[in-house]
Amino acid sequence: MYNLLRKMSRSLKIFSMLGLLIFFSSMNQCALKFYIPPPLFVTGAPDAIFRDDFPFRLSEKTPDVSLALPPARKGNSVLLLPAGQMGFEMRYYLMENAQKSIKIQTYILYSDPVSKKIINILLEKQKQGVEVILIADCYTKFIPKDRALYFKTEKQGLEILGYEPIYFSGADENGFLNVDEYNFRFHEKYIVVDDWYGITGGSNISQEYALYENKPRNMWRDQDVLIVGPTASDMARAVEEDEIYFRNKEMDRPELVNPKWWQEQLGKNKKQVPAKADNAGAGENAQSRIRIEKFDDEDVMVRLIRTRPRYEEDYVYQAYLHLINTAQKRIILEIAYFVPDEDLLNAILNARKRGVAVTLITNNAWTNDVFEMHPYIRYFYLPMMQAGAEIYEWQGIVKNKGSLHSKCAIFDDDITVIGSYNIDPRGRYLNSEDVVVIKSEKVASSLKNIIDQSVMPYTEKITMDKAKFWHNPTTLSGWLKLKFSKLLKDWW
């Protein structure tokens, strides 16, 4: 009886996948509704990315290039922050010592002890007259307890931009539901204090990133970075730009699809948010107010690069393509979701032809929290390994528990990239993203040490036999999973 039930369950899964395969095949042609630019070809050294005249292919819809591509800036101090208690203690410390402003943007803000602690800090600092901006992407906010936290926070006077009830978040300026609105997400991640101390990276505001609970499923690996200096001011401008975007989006909507109008009708007006503080002089003077004991390097060149699909930009993709195309010694990619397009895959293969050592570290099928996509991720292993690349899959600190969520890379031992950007179609075409590109041998060495000590012991090196099977599955279930995963690549 048990064996019969197992066979029935397996057959049901196969038929379900076939049905979904047919469904997404019919919808796949309308999945990507945006301009796909031609490939970019750039020659020169990797550090050309720091030049003001670097030949980015600019989108005609970019309203202000300086907000998406601020210049590289010298004079930054850099401290790497692996996900966990250290990284979040630094966040708490900076926010508690803020004098002028706290500007936060996150993809996830769950109702858990970590989020509640940050919100309590923000409420207290707001009472002290500190300017507070808090943006949380609306897409992830379907859970009732999360909604309750947001409503409670706004009643206390702290406005959360970006979050709206499900229908409102998908309504266009005419009040009609637009599915594309759900697909274009705000995935950038910043915590900026006094426009001088900025944290970015892969971590959202949630307990799995802070390793708050000693549960295997919450033991995530992520990577953030603290930038102290002028590039943090660029991060602050990025948050301010998105704040204006969300406010204008609300103002453009008719009353019936405007959440603020409904709050007024239901008598749920929020308390008056304090006026913005004067940030004049926050810059260098802030440096003496918040003491950081030690950095990985100081007086460093750092460039913030953003991608905003609402303006048909792909600047982070262009940066990665340039760095891979021009690397001469070594490329290390630690990427949660790795689905390269043809140009980027060819860039990796050409790097191997030049003798560049290439290492990819990503999730396995159980630690990948978007497991439906993983068969397609594994599809790319074979051509890379045939060219000589080494590929490792994160197994979790506890076997098959806890995701690798980091998005970082090292090029030629002196350029480091850290941010919110995954190398996949969603990162290039659908999500707003950010990275910082750092020119420093010391920072690159520190990140390499973190990877060697905290990541590699929990990985498995992929064999050629496995790569061949995943590229061309010989079982029906494997074939279906790969086909289904390929259809999802433009959605996930």
Q: Are residues 321 and 463 in the same domain?
A: yes
Cβ-based burial of 292 (10 A; exposed 0-12, middle 13-18, buried ≥19): middle
Is 117 a domain residue?
Answer: yes
Which of 319, 308, 291, 304 lies closest to 231, judged by CA?
304
CATH number at residue 316: 3.30.870.10
Residue 141's pLDDT is what? Answer: 56
Q: Is residue 378 part of a domain?
A: yes
Structure-token pair, residue 29: 């042609």
Length of the chain: 492
Residue 31 tokens, joined: 């999945």
Do residue 471 and residue 344 come from a single domain?
yes
Number of domains in the chain: 2
Co-location of 373 and 451 in the same domain: yes
Residues 267 and 312 in one domain: no
Domain check: are 204 and 338 in the same one?
no
Enter the tokens of residue 328: 């001469």
Residues 229, 311, single domain; the answer is no
Say if residue 35 is in the same domain as residue 95. no
245, 197: one domain: yes
pLDDT at residue 369, rounded to an integer? 86
Per DSSP, the three-state class of 185 is strand
User: Rounded to whole angstroms, how far apart are CA atoms 248 and 290?
Assistant: 34
The answer as to whether 363 is a domain residue is yes
The domain of 139 spans 73-286
Q: Are residues 273 and 341 located together in one domain of the fold? A: no
- Residues 36 and 181 both lie in one domain: no
Q: Indicate the residue among 221, 256, 286 that finishes a domain.
A: 286
Among 286, 319, 353, residue at a domain's last position: 286
| Straight-line distance from the first to the last Cα atom of the chain, in angstroms, rounded to the nearest whole number | 38
Do the domain assignments include residue 56?
A: no
In-domain check, residue 241:
yes
430 within some domain: yes
Tokens of 54: 């670097």
Return d(Cα 448, Cα 319) in angstroms, integer: 20
**Predicted local confidence at residue 35, as pLDDT:** 47
Check whether residue 271 and residue 308 sit in a common domain. no
**Phi, then psi, of 165 in degrees rounded to 5:** -55, 155
The answer to whether residue 14 is domain-embedded is no
**Among 286, 313, 341, which residue terminates a domain?**
286
What global pTM score does this model have? 0.86
Instruction: Give the amino acid at 61.
Output: K
Q: Same domain, yes or no, for 341 and 441?
A: yes
How would you write the pLDDT of the chain (492 residues) with one tens digit per residue?
Answer: 544 444 444 444 444 544 544 444 444 434 444 444 544 545 679 999 999 999 999 999 998 999 999 999 999 999 999 877 889 999 999 999 999 999 999 998 888 899 999 999 999 999 999 999 999 986 555 677 887 888 888 889 998 887 655 555 556 555 556 666 667 788 999 999 999 999 999 999 988 888 766 777 778 899 999 999 999 999 999 999 999 888 877 666 665 555 565 555 555 444 333 344 444 344 555 554 789 989 999 999 999 999 998 899 999 999 999 999 999 999 999 999 999 999 999 999 999 999 999 999 999 999 998 888 899 999 999 999 999 999 999 999 888 888 999 999 999 999 999 999 999 999 999 899 999 999 999 999 999 999 999 999 999 999 999 999 999 998 888 888 888 888 877 666
Q: Is residue 4 part of a domain?
A: no
